[in-house]
């Protein structure tokens, strides 16, 4: 039987908790956009159900008996790749494992709400359905193009002094972003007098694990941003989940400003507020980068960096898991360069080297 275009997308729910299997099933079925074709209680059961039902999207817990979520993701992406959304706890090993899952091929993640009241369930359902819609449109064939095995960061040529940042690179990323960031941030060397500011659309508390993971791979320092934190060279700052991050110039130099103002383009943190502040603070000494993701976040901000005399990069269609954000950035006129993700770090280094020589 051939499915019609209007048929709901088929979802496999994988979780060892009967409560969460029921909750996920109710949210998915209640949307009218998706239907649950099967549920699985652990990774081994998930592999059997993937082979039997060929779901369009998999919702995957991580901490499970028999075969955990990381193992299941590895097998699925090797045998029959398809969009996988991680549904994980905020705390403990769940946050760390979630970042590793995104590197292995999961396209996005949803945090399990700590409360079980109606308000918490509504928030969870809204986030889950938004991520499912993005995952459905993700081109998972692009994931293989940015996959790399774990590797030790190259040795630094000298001690990191973390002096005042003369230049700034602002990066925006959403669905598929952690893998793209792992292609770029570890390749940026110290000594360029540059601070890196990153907005990755991600739930609260997972951003710290993302920063810690990138720190183990990189020659520069990588931290989760904090309010009033000085902006230093040879340091990358990851915007914390649920907070907008901006830069502001003061008597003692540039520092971070965090706030919980209204979401922009439906997300917080959002790239546009960060990019606008970078354009004001650094002007022609700024570089903006828009990576894979759904929506338009970063497009207007990149145009502001361009108009202030800075340089804009956008990830190309061929390597973006979702071309929405970089495509919008190109259409806005803010991107001078449109490059495969594997060439963006070299492009950034080239522009910063040129600026330093002026």
Note down pLDDT in tens along the chain; length 358 residues.
Answer: 444 446 899 999 999 999 999 999 999 999 999 999 999 999 999 999 999 999 999 999 999 998 999 999 999 999 999 999 999 876 556 688 899 999 888 999 998 876 677 888 898 999 999 999 999 989 887 654 444 444 455 554 444 456 889 999 999 999 999 999 999 999 999 999 999 999 999 988 899 999 999 999 999 999 999 999 999 999 999 999 999 999 998 877 899 999 999 999 999 999 999 999 999 999 999 999 999 999 999 999 999 999 999 999 999 999 999 999 999 999 999 999 999 999 999 999 999 999 998 8
Q: Is 162 a catalytic residue?
A: no
Q: Is 272 a catalytic residue?
A: no
CATH hierarchy code of domain 9-137: 3.40.50.2300
CB crowding 48-86: b at 16 or more within 10 Å, else e: ebbeeeebbbbbbbbbbeebbbbbbbeebbeeeebbbbb
**Which residues of the chain are in CATH 3.40.50.180 domains?**
167-357
Q: Which one of 9, 174, 218, 332 is the catalytic residue?
A: 174
Which overall architecture, per CATH, does domain 167-357 show?
A: 3-Layer(aba) Sandwich (3.40)
Q: Which one of 42, 45, 88, 201 is the catalytic residue?
A: 201
pLDDT of residue 118: 84
Of 270, 265, 277, 276, the residue nearest 301 (C-alpha): 276
- Decide if 158 contacts 130 (C-beta within 8 A): no
- Decide if 46 contacts 79 (C-beta within 8 A): no
Q: Which one of 255, 297, 306, 332 is the catalytic residue?
A: 297
pLDDT digits (tens, 9 = 90+) for 123-178: 899 999 999 999 998 988 765 444 444 445 555 444 445 688 999 999 999 999 99
**Which residues of the chain are in CATH 3.40.50.2300 domains?**
9-137
Q: Is 297 a catalytic residue?
A: yes
Q: DSSP 3-state assignment of 22?
A: helix
């Amino acid at each position: 039987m051939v499915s019609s275009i209007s048929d709901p997308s088929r979802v496999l729910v994988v979780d060892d908790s009967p409560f969460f299997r029921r909750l996920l099933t109710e949210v998915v079925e209640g949307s009218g956009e998706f239907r649950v074709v099967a549920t699985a209680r652990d990774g081994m059961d998930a592999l059997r159900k993937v082979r039997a039902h060929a779901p369009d999207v998999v919702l995957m817990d991580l901490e499970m008996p028999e075969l955990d979520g990381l193992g299941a993701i590895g097998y699925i992406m090797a045998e029959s790749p398809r969009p996988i959304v991680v549904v994980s706890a905020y705390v403990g090993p769940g946050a760390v494992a979630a970042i590793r899952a995104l590197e292995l091929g999961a396209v996005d993640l949803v945090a399990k709400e700590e409360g079980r009241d109606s308000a918490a369930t509504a928030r969870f359902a809204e986030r889950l359905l938004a991520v499912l819609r993005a995952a459905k449109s993700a081109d998972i064939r692009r994931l293989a193009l940015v996959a790399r095995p774990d590797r030790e960061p190259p040795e630094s040529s000298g001690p990191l002094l973390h002096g005042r940042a003369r230049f700034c690179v602002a990066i925006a990323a959403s669905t598929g972003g952690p893998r793209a960031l792992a292609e770029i941030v570890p390749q940026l060397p110290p000594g360029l007098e540059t601070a890196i500011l990153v907005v990755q659309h991600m739930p609260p508390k997972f951003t710290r694990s993302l920063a810690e993971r990138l720190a183990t791979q990189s020659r520069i320092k990588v931290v989760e941003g904090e309010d009033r934190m000085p902006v230093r060279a040879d340091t990358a700052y990851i915007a914390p989940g649920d907070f907008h991050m901006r830069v502001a110039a003061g008597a003692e130099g540039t520092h971070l400003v965090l706030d919980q103002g209204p979401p922009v383009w439906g997300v917080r943190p959002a790239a546009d507020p960060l990019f606008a502040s970078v354009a004001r603070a650094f002007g022609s000494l700024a570089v903006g980068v828009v990576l894979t993701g759904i929506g338009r976040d970063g497009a207007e901000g990149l145009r502001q960096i361009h108009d202030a005399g800075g340089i804009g990069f956008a990830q190309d269609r061929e390597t973006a898991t979702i071309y929405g954000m970089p495509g919008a950035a190109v259409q806005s006129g803010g991107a001078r360069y449109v490059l495969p993700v594997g060439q963006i770090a070299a492009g950034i280094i080239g522009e910063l080297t040129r600026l330093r020589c002026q």
